[in-house]
Amino acid sequence: MGAGGFCKLPDGSVVVALTLPNPAACGEGQKVRVVVQARNRARALTRLRNLGLRAVYLRGNVAPPTPDEITAVLHHPESLVWRTAPDDARELYHPIKALFRGPVAQRT
């Protein structure tokens, strides 16, 4: 569906990052980068599918999570964050609930 990848952490958990079409954009071609931490890759994808992102697959490790993405997801209480893609360093990571509420105001 989009570029994605994973990184195994020293504690055995996995951080998965995927670039997906924005579900709130209604076919406008906008993309978001979703980052999730879980016990394994299958559980990470299940967490996304349970949110309604049904066609989520991880094929290969083309675009693994960056150190910035890993830090963001590890410090978030839900271990699930997103921001628009391509990444804009000025934009902060958002909780996953904000993705389904509609557009997020840009912070400069």
- Residue spans of the domains in the chain: they are 4-99
For 85-96, write each residue's pLDDT tens digit. 776 778 888 888
pLDDT per residue as tens digits for the range 27-62: 667 888 999 999 999 999 999 999 888 778 888 899
State the Cα–Cα distance between residues 36 and 81, nearest whole angstrom.
7
Question: Positive or negative, the Cα torsion across 7, 72, 88, 3?
Answer: positive
Is 106 a residue whose pLDDT tops 70? no
Average pLDDT over residues 68-72: 94
| Diameter of the chain measured on Cα atoms | 39
Return the closest-CA partner of residue 48 out of 11, 2, 107. Answer: 2
According to DSSP, the residues that pair with 41 across neighbouring strands are none
Instruction: Evaluate if pTM is beyond 0.75.
Output: yes
* Nearest-angstrom CA–CA distance, 54 and 64: 21
